[in-house]
Amino acid sequence: MSFSKTTLALGLAALVSTTPVSATNIVTSIKPIELVVKAIAGDDMNVSTIVPPGSSPHNYSMKPSQRRALEQADAIFRVGPDMETFLNRLLGGEEFAGKVVAFTEASSEETEAHHEHDHHHHNHGEGEDPHLWVDPRMALDMARTVHAKLSTLDGINTAELDANLERFEQRLNATEQRIKASLGQLDGTSLFAYHSALERFSEHYDLDLAGVLTLNPELSPGARHIADVQNKLRASNQPCLLTEPQFNRQWWRSITEGLNVTVSTWDPLATDIASTANGYIEFQQSIADAVLECLPK
């Protein structure tokens, strides 16, 4: 035979290296959704995210390569039309029908019309709060939706998906109970958030969210709103301001000047959390840890 073992091995290696074409490709809009997907999908699927570290879904513009990734995706997960407004036009196209899963619907036709001429911030103040993923119950609902969608794809091991969902639910329940117990120490602390992203977390854990600094995180608030927040800060017992790394902090420094306010930073976009099956659990814990920084030292 003229075939050497080496040639055969090389031929096989070449074959093997072309097989990832058939791997399942999932694209998510923001990192927290990527973490929920990773909890369900297992390691065989490729999961990538559009909004990169340091950027905000409020004002993001897509690169051409990301448009291609969306076109090649087997499934796309996003929060919804009130959050990643930059995706609305593209993903509304026919070629994406059946591939896109949005966890929320547009809050109203009025909001849609509003976004037609302003694509640079997501919905704050009108309609439903779109920051679903900070609430562990909503994250579980999202995981169930991810499970249902992935189960319909070709070549999927559904038994593995079932087991992953089961494990996620158990871990999330345990984490939620632990967080609930630890946040009980915050009785008497008034929380102030940079914008509405913290609201669903504080509602879920029954925290005292006394104020939100800006209704639209892209704009500095007006003088009247600043004065209102300062009065609330002055009147509060143990005020604590939870800031976010994605936004300019210059203006809130001047708001809190001369006031006795504790400051802690949390990241609603989970930037520093590793993208693993346990990532969402770590993210949920990281929010609680940031809030616990508000405790008097």
User: Footprint of Zn ion on this chain (CB under 5 A)?
Assistant: 197
Angle between helices 279-292 and 31-41 (to 10 degrees): 140
**In terms of Cα–Cα distance, which of 276, 268, 275 is closest to 135?**
268
Task: Retrieve residue 151's tokens.
Answer: 């189960």
CB nearer to Zn ion: give 33 or 197. 197
Residue with tokens 């609603």: 268
Q: What's the closest the beta carbon of residue 187 comes to Zn ion, in angstroms?
A: 27
Query: Radius of gyration over alpha carbons of the chain, in Å?
Result: 22
CB nearer to Zn ion: give 33 or 165. 33
CB nearer to Zn ion: give 132 or 197. 197
Task: Retrieve residue 140's tokens.
Answer: 């579980």
Of the chain, the end-to-end C-alpha distance in Å amounts to 79
CB nearer to Zn ion: give 194 or 280. 194
CB nearer to Zn ion: give 197 or 212. 197
Say if CB 64 and CB 86 are below 8 A apart.
no
CB nearer to Zn ion: give 87 or 197. 197
Q: What's the closest the beta carbon of residue 127 comes to Zn ion, in angstroms?
A: 13
Q: What's the closest the beta carbon of residue 247 comes to Zn ion, in angstroms?
A: 10
Q: What's the closest the beta carbon of residue 204 comes to Zn ion, in angstroms?
A: 17
CA distance 76 to 27: 5
Q: Which residue type occupies 286? A: S
Q: What residue number has its CB nearest to Zn ion?
A: 197
Q: What's the closest the beta carbon of residue 246 comes to Zn ion, in angstroms?
A: 9
DSSP annotation of 295 reads S
Helical H runs in 56-157? 64-72, 88-91, 109-116, 136-151
Q: What's the closest the beta carbon of residue 104 comes to Zn ion, in angstroms?
A: 13
